[in-house]
Structure 1
Amino acid sequence: MEVFRPAFTAATFARWLLLMAAWVLCTERHALTECLVVSGAAGVWEHSAFHRVFSRRRWDLDALARLWLAALVERLSARKLRLQFVIDDTLGTHKGPTVFGLGTHLDAVRSTRKRKTFTFGHVWVTCALVVTVPFSPRPFAIPLLFRLYRSKKECARHGGDYRTKTEQARELVELLLRWLPEASFDLLLDVSYTNRAVLRGLPSRVRVLGALTPERR
């Protein structure tokens, strides 16, 4: 966690560090107040101080991602492994009148060819770094960057510019190119992201691995 310290003030980092540790230890509902109970902070510090870590935050999620990526690349470079990033979207179920950015989205996991299932919640376009570890034969994807996808209807209702998932994915790719100006890496993409919006103009140091439908070739 020390790698993230430069992104925070000293006071905010102390609160954020406590919340992250409590989040891991929490076995009940992962709510902020529950984390304070698990950590022992409840009754010692005011809850509002921890809520302000998020509601009045001055720290930037992309800045955290850059610090995290730099730390991971430093460790992976010692193993002389080619960097691999995967981009896809994930659906999280959420409800509530005060939750921002909710919408009705296709649930690809629960849907079949004959029946489509829709779920109310958030869709996140996510970029993760793929790593291997000694204790497992399977690779792990460590999330780095993400963007909340909002439908045209939701953007019109609550404000904000509408952006497609592929446009958001390209934004994440551009960040990788900027942060890794000399590195060669692989980009693993679902069929939904192997299109011109994501792939146009990529430098030769980026190798793309993904399925192409006939109309996308």
Structure 2
Amino acid sequence: MLHLPARFAAIIVAFAPLFRHRTWRHAEVLLVGAILAPGKRTVTSILRICGLSRERHFVNYHRVLSRARWSGQAGARLLLGLLIHAFVPAGPVILGLDDTIERRRGKRIAAKGIYRDPVRSSDAHFVKASGLRWLSLMLLAPIPWAARTWALPFLTALAPSERSCCERGQRHKTLTDWARQMVLQVRRWLPERELVLVTDMGFAALELLAALSRRSVICVTRLRLDAALYEPAPRRRPGTAGRPRTKGTRLPKLSEVLTRTSTRWRRVTVPGWYGEGDRLIEFCSATAVWYHSGKPVVPIRWVLVRDPLGRFSPQALLCTDPTRAPLRIIGWFILRWQIEVTFQEARAHLGVETQRQWSDRAVARTTPCLFGLFSMVTLLAGQLHHQTRTAVWTDSWYRKSHPTFADTLAAVRQAIWRETGLLTSRRRHKTPKPSQALQRCLVYALCHAV
């Protein structure tokens, strides 16, 4: 069986208390194999890459996901603690939240539903997709060796479809319900840290924003151009009868502010605009109260952004902390693009959507583990030497200055393979002969690379 290098032990052993002793031995094999396995991340492919293709009790490894008693929520808390200690020891903790669809079919996949495919659909064309909807909470942290911010998943929850909940007699929870529970759970884990949540317009709901604001969570998201904005309610005079006012005078819509000639725009250059480098933009900002009949009242700062060259449509942002500077709000929001990058990297390099579990417990555990593997690889890479983790694969037709996640994954894999003795030798200019089990691992890795 393959083993992890000693420098990785401190990170890996932190998760041992989640499992019983026998289960932990199997879980550790699954972790190492999931990092090394090419292509599909099934339990069988993990056993093959670890040299356990002739293991007679292979069912014990399946049971780690389908039957063993361990808490994914406790694992998420441990993972978040390691990430914050390594990458965000001080300052605000910036969280990114978004949902994604895992395309799965099968009669035994009970929680699947029919959703709008966000990749293939457009404003004029609607494409359906059958699968599971996952809501992932990620830590937006700067990675020193990558010279950019990565979205590191640590808590991922399955949001069953409404049809599945009706068939089981359960109350259906919307995405905003799941989002509120997940973010408030992180608030309980980090009571002393400043939390900033960055989301897309799908989570710009007054109930969600009000619930998080009461727990001192700053929310940054998109705002509709036709949202009903008001001035704050005037001070109540003593002796006034009736209920106190919740809002003041109605303010112009942001779509009107956008076309007014009297609007004062400020032109700035924003670095790192959606991974494209510096971008020249214009913005204006003010404070207001967002109100809708029958819903909570939320004080916000809105920021209207437009491109003087017309390369993107004007968009409005909101922040539930009216005291924040507009440039800080814009800088927070453009980090949200890293969430989409993580979803793509997890599918391309970690085998998301290739697993084949069908039991409810295994389905609910496997995908969060694969997303969490993205963060685990990043943590393990932080234990490598600077020269090793900053090495990039370049060609004459493709050059890059900083490593991507593919390079980071390759560096971690190299460290694990080096532990087997394949890449090192005690005698100079002599290559050791690998064992038969290791030869089978290498053959499987080379011949099943896709």
Tell me the equivalent position of 1:185. Answer: 195
* C-alpha distance in 2 between matches for 1:171 and 1:4: 23
Distance 1:12 1:2 in 2: 13
1:88–1:126 contact (8 Å) kept in structure 2: yes
1:170 equivalenced with 2:180 (yes/no): yes
**Residues 12 and 53, structure 1, Cα contact 8 Å, conserved in 2:** yes
Out of 48-57 and 207-216, give the one that drifted further. 207-216
1:18 to 29, 54, 74: 29
Q: Residues 131 and 139 of structure 1 are in contact (CA less than 8 Å); yes or no, is this contact kept in structure 2? A: yes
Q: Any idea what the Cα deviations from partners look like across 1:65-91, whole Å, max 9, x if unmatched?
A: 00111122222354x342110111011
The answer to whether the Cα contact below 8 Å between 1:186 and 1:209 also exists between their aligned partners in 2 is: yes
> What is the aligned partner in structure 1 of residue 171 from structure 2?
161
Q: What is the TM-score normalised by the length of structure 1?
A: 0.92
Q: Is the 8 A contact 1:167 1:197 kept in 2?
A: no
Identity level (%): 27
Deviation at 1:32, TM superposition (A): 1.1
| Structure 2: segments with no counterpart, 5+ residues | 1-11, 229-289, 291-450
Q: 1:149 and 1:200, CA in 2 relative to 1: closer, same or farther beyond 3 A?
A: same
CA contact (8 A) 2:196 2:219 kept: yes
2:210 maps to 200
For the residues of structure 2 that align with 1:97 and 1:211, how far apart are their CA atoms?
Answer: 37
Superimposed CA distance per residue, residues 120-178 of structure 1 (whole angstroms, 9 cap, x where no aligned partner): 11110111111111232431111111221222212112443211011000010110111
Select 1:53's aligned residue among 64, 67, 78: 64
| Residues 187, 208 of structure 1: 8 Å contact kept | yes
- Give the match for residue 131 of structure 2: 121
Q: Which one of the candidate residues 144, 154, 157 is aligned to 2:154?
A: 144
C-alpha distance in 2, partners of 1:7/1:81?
A: 29
- 2:55 is equivalent to residue 44 of structure 1: yes
Q: Which has the higher contact order (CA 8 A, sep 6+)?
A: 2
Structure 1: gaps (5+ residues): none
Displacement of 1:204: 6.6
What's the secondary structure of 1:135's corresponding residue?
helix
Secondary structure of 1:34's aligned partner: helix
Task: State how far apart, in whole Å, the 2-side matches of 1:131 and 1:100 are.
Answer: 35
Tell me which residue corresponds to 2:116: 106
Q: Aligned pair count? A: 216
Moved more, 135-144 or 55-64: 135-144
Aligned to 1:54, the other structure's residue is in SS state helix
Shift in Å, 1:37: 1.1
CA contact (8 A) 1:7 1:63 kept: yes
User: Which SS does the other structure have where 2:79 is aligned?
Assistant: helix
Match of 1:85 among 95, 98, 105: 95
Residues 170-216 of structure 1, C-alpha deviations (whole Å, 9 max, x = no match): 01011011101111121101111121232223247422211111347
Structure 1 position 34 matched with structure 2 position 45: yes
What is the aligned-residue RMSD (CA, Å)? 1.8
Partner Cα distance (1:126, 1:75) in 2: 20
TM-score (normalizing by structure 2): 0.46
Worse overlay, 66-75 or 37-46: 37-46
